[in-house]
Amino acid sequence: MTPALLAITLLFGVTLCYVGVCAASPFGPCRKCHGWGFEMTTDRKGRMKRGKDCRRCRATGKRIRVGRWLYNRWARIYRAGTTD
C-alpha cells in the first residue's frame, strides 16, 4: 500500500468516526470550564473553590461540536432553499 493511499484511508476513517461521534453525541464538554459550568479559583490559602459561572457555555458545561454545528448550518440552508 502506498503512503498516499494509506494517508487517504486513515483520513477517511478518522472523518467517519468523527461523524459518528457528532451523530451520537452532538454536545461535548465546554473547552473553557472542562464541563464543570464554572471556573475553579483558589482562595488565599491555596485551596480550590468555585469561581464564576462560565460565560462561554452559560454554566451548562456543554457546547455543540464543530461537526454538528456545520451539519445544522447546512441543513438550515438546504431547508430554506427547498421550501416554496
Per-residue pLDDT tens for 25-80?
999 999 999 999 998 899 999 999 999 999 999 999 999 999 999 999 999 999 99
Provide the whole-model pTM: 0.71
Q: What is the mean pLDDT of residues 5-31?
A: 95
SS (H, E, C) the chain: CCHHHHHHHHHHHHHHHHHHHHHHCCEEECCCCCCCCEEEEECCCCCEEEEEECCCCCCCCEEECHHHHHHHHHHHHHHHHHCC
